[in-house]
Amino acid sequence: MPAFGPAFFYVWNPCYARSMSNDLASKHCKPCEGGVEPLSADAAQQLLAKLHEDWSITDDGLEITRTFAFPAYSRSLGFANAVAWIAITEGHHPDLLLSYSKCVVNWTTHAIGGLSDNDFICAAKVDLLNE
């Protein structure tokens, strides 16, 4: 069962030091207005390896995606709101598909038409919500 309170609190509260499996979640997104190339397939695979194993790169290589399952709509909605808080704080917004028992999270960097470090940073922060 996902834990929203404590994990979410620690992600955003610098007074608490947490041991993370990688340092992605401790980073912050950099503004991206285009003009840079998307990550190469190799670079994206290296960053994907630092995330929870349920994340995957879409067949076209333009997004990372993960489906989170929940026992009730209220939990799915609460999770989606927590993801939205991460997105607003980081200035990088995912596509969310919300249903009764699941929330699908897709990250891509629209300004460059592919994946950037920002997508993986935000995915790592989302992983902390579901510990």
State the average pLDDT for the chain: 86
Residue pair 126/86 in contact (Cβ under 8 Å)? The answer is yes
pLDDT digits (tens, 9 = 90+) for 19-32: 344 688 988 888 88
Cα 51 to chain centroid, rounded? 9
Q: What is the helix, strand, coil percentage profile of the chain, to 5?
A: 40, 15, 45
Residues near 15 by beta carbon (within 8 Å), at least 6 away in sequence: none
pTM of the model: 0.82
Separation between Cα atoms, residue 15 and residue 24, nearest integer Å: 18
pLDDT digits (tens, 9 = 90+) for 31-72: 887 788 999 999 999 999 999 999 999 999 999 999 999 999
pLDDT greater than 60 at residue 93: yes
Domains of the chain: 42-131 (3.30.1360.20)
Cα 80 to chain centroid, rounded? 11
Residue pair 23/120 in contact (Cβ under 8 Å)? The answer is no
